[in-house]
Amino acid sequence: MEIKPLKMGGFYLPNNVLMAPLAGYTCYPFRLLCQEMGAGVSFTEMVSANGLKYKDKATKRLLLTTKDEKIKAVQLLGGNPSVMERAACSEELSGFDIIDINMGCPVPNIFKSGEGSALLMDLKRASKIIRQCKRSGKPVSVKCRIGVGEKHHIAAEFAKMCEDSGADMISIHGRTRNMMYDGAPVYEQIAEAKAVVQIPVIANGGIFSVADADKMMQETGADGVMIGRYGLEHPYIFAELTGKVVTKGKGQILKEQSKLAFAYYDEVYAIDYIRKLAAYFMKKQPGMKGYKQKMYQCGTWEELSELFAQAFS
């Protein structure tokens, strides 16, 4: 695929290879890793606009960032336009460069609450949310799916609504809400959306290799790709796509990620995050099953460090 800068309104991303927001994973240390590997930007985990209103500890942790994160992009989740506007314009988000609106999360409790992918069935409310978030003065992107079910494919209509409402970019997961995270992405839907808008369209879903990214771009004509779960398993994908040279192994990455996690988070959260990341690093790797089982018996960083030294030597 062609690597090129990406223009979002008056803001430029260094390239068109993006890391998707993933709940439980795209915390500050991991976003820095994606940046180091070559990603144009990595979004925070989804932040509830309602949670932001109450300023709880968990939400504050999701928003942690520093000057070392060159481009700061936050993903907001919510279904009430006024609450979303208040969150977008809040002091807590003042340090972020980009606001992404979650209109694609398929999780049942979020869908039932009228948030995430439920907004695919309410274009009027979705439009109002975008318009009111734009009052923040920041570039606004939208992440969505191609529809709710097999008979509800509305990628083009939804993309056009996003553009008309003021969105500066749209990222389309090429699956319906009912498909969750399985099945082949429907390239045609992303291509149809790309054909009706002028704003950048980023293609997401089913990208697990450079070849997959190339195919996604060829089939859809999208302006860039967004990597999801494969970014956790193989963060080198960003370097492979952008041509960046990276020599450090997974053991070194885990060591550096652990240092950051323990520096910025409490021990319980840090250990939980490192275990989850290491589990992805071990995925599909021969000889890792025993190490993975032992990892969950480790209760301290010292024990984890010793295990990682053996597993990733």
State the pLDDT confidence band at 53, using cuts at 50, 70 and 90.
confident
Q: Is the pLDDT of residue 55 over 80?
A: no
133 is annotated as an active-site residue: no
State the pLDDT confidence band at 10, using cuts at 50, 70 and 90.
confident
Helix-, strand-, coil-residue percentages of the chain, each rounded to 5: 50, 15, 35
Looking at the chain, how many residues does it have? Answer: 313
Give the global pTM.
0.95
pLDDT at 139: 98
DSSP β-ladder status, 11-13 and 201-204? unpaired
Dist. CA 128–CA 84, nearest whole Å: 10
H-state helical runs in the chain:
28-37, 49-54, 57-62, 81-88, 108-112, 123-133, 155-164, 187-196, 210-220, 230-233, 237-242, 250-264, 267-282, 289-295, 301-311
State the pLDDT confidence band at 9, using cuts at 50, 70 and 90.
confident
Kindly indicate whether the domain formed by 6-242 is annotated with CATH number 3.50.50.60. no
Dist. CA 297–CA 239, nearest whole Å: 33
State the pLDDT confidence band at 221, using cuts at 50, 70 and 90.
very high
Chain segment 21-30, per-residue pLDDT in tens? 999 999 999 9
Interacting residues of 125 by C-beta distance below 8 A, sequence separation 6+: 79, 81, 114, 119
CB-based burial label for 70 (10 Å; 0-12, 13-18, 19+): exposed
Residues of the chain with pLDDT > 70: what percent? Answer: 100
Q: What is the mean pLDDT of residues 292-305?
A: 91
Q: Is the pLDDT of residue 54 over 90?
A: no
Domain ranges within the chain, ordered by starting residue: 6-242, 250-311
pLDDT at 299: 86
Return mean pLDDT, the chain.
Answer: 96
Residues of the chain with pLDDT > 90: what percent? Answer: 92
pLDDT at 56: 79
Q: What is the mean pLDDT of residues 77-103?
A: 97
Sign of CA dihedral 27, 32, 37, 41: positive
**Catalytic residue (one of 27, 34, 105, 144):** 105
